Amino acid sequence: MVARWLLSLLIVLSPCAFAKKVDLDYHVRLLPHTGQAEVQIRLAEGSAVRSLDFDLGQGDAYSDFKADGQWSRQGGRGVWHPASGKSQLDYRVRLAQAGQSHVTPHWAVLRGEQLVPPARLDQQDGTELVARLSVALPQGWKSIETAWPRIGKRKFRIDDVSRLFDRPTGWMLAGNLGSRRARLGETEVAVAAPQGQGMRRMDTLTLLTFVWPHLQAVFPRTPGKLLVVGARDGLERGAQSGYQSIFLHSSQALVNDSGTSPLLRELVQVFAQVRGRERSDWLGKSLAEYYASELLRRAGGLSDDRDRALHTRRQKQADGVTTLRAAQASSAQIARGVLLLQALDTEIRIHTQDKRSLDDVTRALMRLPSVDTEAFVQLSENVLGKESDVLRTKLLRL
C-alpha cells in the first residue's frame, strides 16, 4: 500500500502534471485542382512559443506565408515568432512529388511530413503543446486515413514522444477509399486504397495476420495503430515505411517469387526502428531483409527448399562485396549483411544450446536511438558470451 501511494504521489508531482497545456492545431485543406494544400498552424496561446524555426528546403514547395506575429524567411529556413494570444501561421504547400506522392481529382496519397516541415521549437518552460490535425476534404471525397488516433470524423491526435515538436508524419490517404480493418494483438490495423487502384486489401491483411504472432515474439513493440496504404497510378513501384504506416504499390507482389516480401520488410522497419550511424546503414536494412523472409519461414509460409534457394540467390547477389561499411548500403551489401546475420544467428544458437539467438541481439538494438557497427558487435558478443568468430571479419572494418 505504501509503495502504491508513493508511486501515485510521484505521478502527481511529475513535471507533466504541472505543465500548462496549450492547444496546437493543424488545419489542412486539400486542393486537388492545384496539387496543393492550404495549411494553418494555430496556437491557442502564442506566448507559449518563443519561436518555430522551420526547415523549408531549397525548393519552392512552401509559399504564400501569412503570420500573426513576426515571420522571416532566409534561404531554406523560415522563423515564426507568434503573437501573444491566439496566433496563426498560414501557407500553401505543393503536394505532388514525383513517385513519392500523388494527387488526382478523386484521391491523394502523401506523407504527413510534407504538410508541416521539420522545425526547431523554442517554447516557454512548463508548457506542453497538445497537437491535433483536422483535414477539410474536397467536395465528393468521403474519407481520410492517417497513422494517428482518430478523435473525430476527420480529426486526429498527434503525439510523438520521440519529438519535442509534434507534427503530422507517416503516410496519409484521402478520397473515395476502400478499406479492411482488423485488431492484431493490441494494434488496430487498417489496409486502405483508392477505389479502382487494384489494391489486394484482404490478401494484405491476411498476410499480416499470418505473421503477426511471430513479429511480436521478436519485436516487443506495440503501436496503437498501423496503416497500410496502396495505390498504383503515379507512384513508384515497391514499398516504403513511415511513422506507423507503410505504402505498398498495388501492383507489387506481397511475396516475390524469390521468397522476399517488400511488405514484411517495411513492417520490420516500422517495428524494429534500428537506425545505423557512422557508415552502418547496412545494419538496419539487412535486419529488415533478414526478418522479412525469416518471419515468413517461421510462420510456415516459406518451405525449406525455397529458403535454401533464397540463400543461394543472396550469395550470388553479394559476390564481390568486400565491406559492409557505407553511408548508403547497396543492394549487394544488404544481401551480404543478411548472410552475415544468418551466420551469427547460427553461431549464437550453437554456443548457447539454442537458448539465445539473433532475436536477443535485435531486441537490444531496438533500445538504442541509433547504432554503429562497433556497438552491434559488442551487443552480439554480450549475447553470445564470448568473442564472435563470425564477426571477426574484414567486412565490418572501416
DSSP single-letter state for residue 395:
G
CB-based contact 63:91 (threshold 8 Å): yes
Q: CA-CA distance, 390 to 383, in Å (whole number)? A: 14
Give the pLDDT band of residue 12 (cuts 50, 70, 90): very low
Largest CA distance in the chain: 68
> Model pTM?
0.90
Could you tell me if residue 244 is left (phi over 0), alpha (psi between -120 and 50 degrees) or otherwise beta?
left
pLDDT tens string 176-197: 999 999 999 999 999 999 999 9
CB-based contact 268:292 (threshold 8 Å): yes
pLDDT of residue 202: 97
Give the pLDDT band of residue 364 (cuts 50, 70, 90): very high
Give SS3 for 156: strand
Phi then psi for residue 55, to 5 deg, are -95, 105
Average pLDDT of the chain? 92
Mean pLDDT throughout 97-122? 89
pLDDT of residue 221: 85
pLDDT of 247 strictly over 70: yes
pLDDT of residue 187: 96
**Residues facing 129 on adjacent strands:** 22
pLDDT tens string 68-103: 999 999 989 999 999 999 999 999 999 876 567 899
Q: 38: which 3 cell numbers?
A: 492550404
The number of C-alpha atoms within 13 Å of 58 and in the hemisphere containing its C-beta is 0
pLDDT of 10 strictly over 60: no
Give the pLDDT band of residue 19 (cuts 50, 70, 90): confident
Give DSSP secondary structure letters for 46-106.
GGGEEEEEEE--SSSSEEEEEESEEEEEETTEEEEEEPSSSEEEEEEEE--BTBTBEE-SS
CB-based contact 64:29 (threshold 8 Å): no
Pairing label, strands 187-194, 225-231: parallel
